[in-house]
Chains A and B, each alone.
Chain A
């Protein structure tokens, strides 16, 4: 057996109030392992605004500024400006938000912070819905998924709109570094975070974050589902460094049905609908390969 490459130091205490098997717990854990102690977090409304626990406790070993739902990007800019004016160096400013707080209500503030080249890392943990408020659709919910606001009914079942491509949106901001990470690949996860840490400017991490209650699945399948998301190309692992795409795990290209079958939120889908999802995934994958090949 080789030497373990995942740092042993933990920056989270036990006692997070997340659900059993919560993928977002792992996202935070690996993120902080990659960043270390000289980190200041800002978290908007989302599951992770509740998970540190009730005042005056916290399960995090780094300081945390809670902020309004849509304000993560602005909070990052404010923190960085204060550190700069005080001459405090070597601190990583991190915005840590859910998908709803990023691709929907917080998109403006994040875009502003990216355009201003705020020196910090924005991490979006993507559980593909508004989970904190009880599983409502977000702009990051994939086509075909059930949520409480995309109920499976006789006339208009499930979500009929595609997931927003937040990585492309961030690439269009010409930021120096963006990467997707998965809790099924902690080494790759931590490596990318460590890399992001060394870059100056606005950096973006998109972390797939399975959610047992929201995805209607057994908590014991969280890591397996995260792995299948990568293997089926439903959630490819790649990074964009100075505009150049590099796929960091090519995967087997397993049929997407493997990934979907663990999750109750997709259980209503017919074979025809699953085939449509497969087609969209294949097209996205081809596009990503083409981007990589063309150096964009």
Chain B
């Protein structure tokens, strides 16, 4: 069934189709309509679940952790400050190897207050042991939530996942979305049944104290889980495609990259605009392409490496900035590209923070810049795009 809906509703439908059993969430702009919709689904009985209207995001995640430990499939959604408040318990969820799935509507951090898109919130949680999937469309949001449960719940992975969508550009923008048939989703995603859960009659401690001679093994195993999630994700997407007839491009979606001289690497909704720009530039004879980081965790290391070996220049667009270094997408892309024989020239473009529009014209200029830079090298490795007071004109 096709319906026109916002990214937030697509998210709520994703959780409903996945038959989340416990939902604990706290409202924050621009995530609120996800929670409201799910509260409705539960209230009307359309979704058989427990909805916990917690008093904070920290409690939302802590409640999901407890419920998931007791064997329930859980879901939550948040954004920016809510995600930051969760930080402590995010590491708890992954350390406890709980396949919780959460939507994060990416929004800027204050001060100054801003409710608009920016990836700093989720990038700042990069090291918490969560899988992170950045979406480009509302359909992808819905599909990724369902896929994420299947990836995360497989016994070789058992880690939580964050499905990231851009504030307002996706969360509040309506697009046609195909709502898959529940029976098909059920055949794709069986009920959650972990090997181990907390239950009476089995006196065990979940999360006990360990000594230095034990701790690293827990971390090592979590690393193995994350590593396994790469192949698992690709297989799950293939299976998804077989059943539902669509896919979204694996860990790193490549658009017109095969014969490209330069490519733009980006994540999130800006990729859709960038694809249009690639088309129009190609029409004028420029061999440009787009590589969309769909999975930031696990990072598509092999895919980036393969791409880096074929092109002369890579522009990486970051919608956040890691102070004292560069954009995180850039540093990671660069790290993956480092080991190829003939390294491309790489440059980082910081753009679109706090919801600033990244126009087709800006993307075109980034492509033009990387075309020049790829021939003679970059003077500044990191450039802030479209900032008042800087000499270069972007609009």
Contacts and interface: CB of A to CB of B under 8 A. Distances in A.
Interface of A: 37-40, 42, 49-50, 52-56, 58, 60-68, 70-71, 73-79, 81-86, 88, 91, 108-109, 111-112, 115-116
Binding site of A, secondary structure by majority: helix, strand, loop or mixed?
mixed
B52 A77 contact: yes
A53 B199 CA distance: 20
A65 B59 contact: no
A64 B67 contact: no
Contact of A65 (B49, B56, B66): B66
14 contacts: A37-B200, A37-B201, A38-B200, A50-B209, A54-B211, A55-B214, A63-B198, A63-B200, A66-B208, A68-B92, A74-B62, A82-B66, A109-B58, A116-B52
Given A63-B198, A66-B208, 12 more contacts: A38-B200, A49-B209, A54-B208, A55-B205, A64-B204, A71-B59, A78-B70, A79-B67, A79-B69, A81-B52, A82-B50, A86-B70
A78 B66 contact: yes
B200 to A, nearest CB: 5
Q: Which of A37, A56, A68 counts the most B-chain CB atoms under 10 A from its CB?
A: A68
Contact of A83 (B68, B70, B214): B70
Q: Which 6 A-B pairs have the closest CB atoms?
A: A78-B66, A112-B55, A66-B207, A78-B63, A82-B70, A74-B59
Nearest to B207: A66
B203 interface: yes
B206 interface: yes
Interface of B: 21-22, 24, 48-50, 52-56, 58-60, 62-72, 74, 88-89, 92, 198-211, 214
A77 B203 contact: no
B50 A81 contact: yes
A289 B291 CA distance: 74
A81 B62 contact: no
Contacts of A111: 55
Nearest to B198: A63
B62 A115 contact: no
Nearest to A84: B50
Given A50-B209, A63-B206, A86-B72, A78 B67 contact: yes
Contacts of A50: 209
Contacts of B66: 42, 65, 67, 74-79, 82
A288 B205 CA distance: 39
B53 A116 contact: yes
